[in-house]
Amino acid sequence: MSPLPSLNGLRAFEAAGRHLNFRAAADEMGVTQGAVAQQVRQLEAHLGMPLFDRLPKGLAFTTTGRGYHARVTTAFDELRAATETLRPEPDKVLVSVTPTFAAKWLIPNLPDFSAACPNADLRILATERMSSFHGDGIDLAIRQGKPPFGAALKVVRLFRQEVIAVAAPSLVAGHRLPIDPEALSHLPKLHDAHDLWPAFLKQLNVADRSRHGLRLSQTALALDAALSGQGAALVSSFLVRHDIAEKRLVQIHPAALSGEQDFYLLAERGPRRGPSTQAAFDWFASKAEAEA
């Protein structure tokens, strides 16, 4: 029997072939871009032929590489299926969401989910990293982005990107709402990784005149700081709908910042989805529609 190539090389080739990009494959596998490129080079050396053409902005299959990738992908699918047969979890639903979406929307809505999907064993993977349906074994993903996402995915838009300014009532107690742009410019600002305050203030034709601001890595942390009265935050309106209704936060200006990065529910097409995964998919879609 001829020796098989390295399993790591085959994994790197399979991931790089799906993305046609070494960096995206590296992000999925949790290794460096250089490590993926090296594994693929070693596989090509083992086979004695190139599998990819290296382009300035990605990869393209060679004729041999395309056919080989199809068969390698089939082999990995068979390995996954064989493993799942040994440890079936038909009701498990692993959903990948950002930490902010998990903390500010999904977890508060879990009682409703449990009532609607009593048989689903929901598991939450809260990460900023783009998860892989194959590599991470996720069933559903909710991400902010812009179509197209690929023909292999079933996609439903859950929420439009509509960013509003909010603050604790105590922070704006001395102001009449809605606060005027000049007064807003002087409020302390809470900045997250999206850094949307410059664009928000620009559409109001004012500059940021606050003496200090707090910078945080996640929108969820900015929201927590806003709830404690430390400053004004910019956040997608659906994430604070409940806090505004309960008067823990107030929308301090009617302006909204719209964008093309809406929130989408993603799932693989095909027969792999079990009844609990389908029920969870339907719940997310109907819950978002009800809140629209």
Tell whether 2 is covered by a domain. no
Tell whether 1 is covered by a domain. no
212: domain CATH number is: 3.40.190.10
pTM here is: 0.68
52: domain CATH number is: 1.10.10.10
Is 160's pLDDT higher than 70?
yes
E-assigned strand segments in the chain? 52-55, 58-61, 92-97, 121-126, 140-145, 153-159, 162-167, 189-191, 213-215, 232-236, 250-251, 257-258, 262-268
Q: How far apart are CA 182 and CA 172, in angstroms?
A: 13
Tell whether 20 is covered by a domain. yes
Confidence of residue 112 (pLDDT cuts 50, 70, 90): very high
Domain boundary among 56, 86, 116: 86
Question: Quick one: tokens of 276?
Answer: 């609990």
Domain boundary among 26, 55, 86: 86
Q: At 118, give phi and psi (nearest 5°).
A: -65, -25
More confident residue, 220 or 292: 220
Q: Are residues 142 and 287 in the same domain?
A: yes
Q: Are residues 219 and 172 in the same domain?
A: yes
Is 245's pLDDT higher than 80?
yes
Q: Are residues 234 and 192 in the same domain?
A: yes
What is residue 291's predicted lDDT score, i.e. its pLDDT? Answer: 86
Q: Are residues 71 and 121 in the same domain?
A: no
Q: How many CA atoms lie within 13 A of 194 on its CB side?
A: 22
The answer to which of 49-63, 108-122, 138-152 has the lowest mean pLDDT is: 138-152
Q: Are residues 66 and 204 in the same domain?
A: no
Domain boundary among 67, 86, 105: 86
Q: Are residues 97 and 206 in the same domain?
A: no
More confident residue, 47 or 136: 47
Q: Domain limits at 117?
A: 92-161+261-291
Tell how far CA 174 is from the center of its chain.
38
Q: Are residues 181 and 223 in the same domain?
A: yes
The answer to which of 105-109, 165-169, 271-275, 281-285 has the lowest mean pLDDT is: 271-275
Q: Are residues 50 and 123 in the same domain?
A: no
For the chain, how many structural domains are there in total? 3
Q: Are residues 281 and 156 in the same domain?
A: yes
What average pLDDT does range 52-56 have in this prediction? 94
Tell whether 113 is covered by a domain. yes
- Sequence-distant (6+) residues with CB within 8 A of 149 are 155, 264, 266
